[in-house]
A and B are shown apart, each in its own frame.
Chain A
């Protein structure tokens, strides 16, 4: 595995709460959650730059909503 670098991350209370909730829900450390988020963000960004659109679909109603990426 490639060497890792350490950084300090400044989060608001709300952001830290979300990170802790995700960490519990996903059974991962906060670092692992952020690494996973980075993977997903890069993937979504690459697809958006290619012209793809990201949709969220309701499992019950099948209603689709496009997620706007900035």
Chain B
């Protein structure tokens, strides 16, 4: 599999400095190995810590049961799906999988194609669970930016949509500026968010990168 690579910058939270990273259009076996050998041990250790400290299940990472290997096998060779990842210090820092067969729901956009974000996950050390400081900031925002730019490139005019896990509602609604269409009874009552072409332009113009 051939992937193209572009330069991006992450914010190293401990030093406040911008560090160079790579945005790859594609998730390869290397990312799946990172997920298994680098993400998993940290996720497992965090879960042990959550158990020890008596944090209720609702406070746990809601993406903990995701299997990226299964998710990638499901879309193999299909044109309808696309993936991106960010690599920094030779380690995968975040991954996103998008679906290009869905349509917008917002008034005025209804029926027009959008990029639907199936899954977006950042490496566990880049999250602030349990009050821990993230190693790198900006991973989620850059992956969102990649999705919006892909929507523009596919002539979807920047439209994107997603169902958000409760822990991520604030990120999609406030950080990314997406419209909140409320809980979707057909999708486990997860809140559905959508970005119009106007919001996408604003996001791309104001998108935060260190």
Contacts and interface: CB of A to CB of B under 8 A. Distances in A.
A39 interface: yes
A64 to B, nearest CB: 16
A43 B80 contact: yes
Contacts, number: 39
Contact of B79 (A25, A32, A38): A38
A2 B25 CA distance: 10
B174 interface: no
Interface string A38-53: 1110110010000000
A43 to B, nearest CB: 5
The majority secondary structure among interface residues of chain A is helix
Interface string B84-121: 00000000000000001100000000011100000000
B2 interface: yes
Contacts of B79: 38-39, 42-43
Contacts of B100: 36, 39
Contact of A26 (B2, B101, B112, B153): B112
A30 B153 CA distance: 14
Nearest to B2: A2
Nearest to B154: A32
B113 A36 contact: yes
Contacts of B101: 36, 39-40, 43
Interface in A13-48: 25-29, 32, 35-36, 38-40, 42-43, 46
The majority secondary structure among interface residues of chain B is loop
A9 interface: no
Contacts of A2: 2, 4
B146 to A, nearest CB: 12
A42 B112 contact: no
Contact of A1 (B4, B113, B157): B4
A43 B116 CA distance: 15
Given A1-B153, A35-B154, A38-B79, 11 more contacts: A2-B4, A28-B113, A28-B155, A29-B155, A36-B113, A36-B154, A39-B78, A39-B79, A42-B78, A43-B79, A43-B101
6 contacts: A2-B2, A26-B111, A27-B155, A35-B154, A40-B80, A42-B79
